[in-house]
Structure 1
Amino acid sequence: MIVTFKSKASGDLIYFKDAALKLLNLMGRDDKVPSALYAEDVPAALQQLQQGLAEIAEQEKVKVQQQEEGQASSDGKKYISLNTRAIPLLEMLQKAQKKQCPVSWE
């Protein structure tokens, strides 16, 4: 399943459901799809997401280090950190905060 984040402040973002739900949880939201943030709730969600990503960055360093050493994950796929995946959403939330726009996902 795919989750699309939308805001008038930027273009649409498309995430696979598992990544989207992790990011929503880090923002302090439940896994309800579709849903939305009011414009006044965007700054708090952005702050929570940034804090959550900082906390898991240490955990991801181990996986990134293993990848750099030439070790792949057990299924042979390269690991892409949640922090890397979150960059477009962070940018969307920052633009939405600046322009005072809501953010929705479906």
Structure 2
Amino acid sequence: MLITFKTPSYADITMFGDVAKALIKMMGHSGTVPGAILAEDVPRALERLRDAVARNPNAPLNPERGDDDDEDARRESVSLAKRALPLVELLEAAARDEKNVMWEQS
């Protein structure tokens, strides 16, 4: 499953579902899909996400893989800070322009 984040102030961002749900929860949301954050709540969601990343920026946040993936692919890891960066930028743009943020399965 893929999840796409949308706001009028920034390009759409698509992420693996499990990665996106983890980031949504870090923003203080329940993790439901589809979902949204009202414009007045975006700054707080951004702050929560930044705080979560700052506490452990190098923690791995990788999509779940099937059993048929090879061993090398399982050893590769992408940090929380790198996974969260596009969403942080989207939230910054939405906060700046006072726009809602929505996400849905794509």
- Please say if residues 19 and 82 of structure 1, whose CA atoms lie closer than 8 Å, have aligned partners that are also in contact: no
Most deviating of 46-55 and 74-83: 74-83
Q: Following the alignment from structure 1 to structure 2, what is the Cα–Cα distance between the partners of residues 40 and 49?
A: 16
- Per the alignment, residue 10 of structure 1 pairs with 10
Which protein has the bigger helix share? 1
Please report the TM-score for the alignment, with normalisation by the length of structure 1.
0.82
Secondary structure of 1:15's aligned partner: strand
CA RMSD in angstroms comes to 1.5
| SS of residue in 1 equivalent to 2:4 | strand
Equivalenced residue count is: 93
Instruction: Give the match for residue 71 of structure 1.
Output: none
- When normalised by structure 2's length, the TM-score is 0.82
Q: Which runs of 5+ in 1 are unaligned?
A: 64-73
Aligned partner of 1:69 in structure 2 is none
Which structure's CA Rg is the greater one? Answer: 1
Q: CA deviation at 1:75?
A: 3.0
Identity among equivalent positions (%) equals: 38
Runs of 4+ that moved beyond 2 A = none
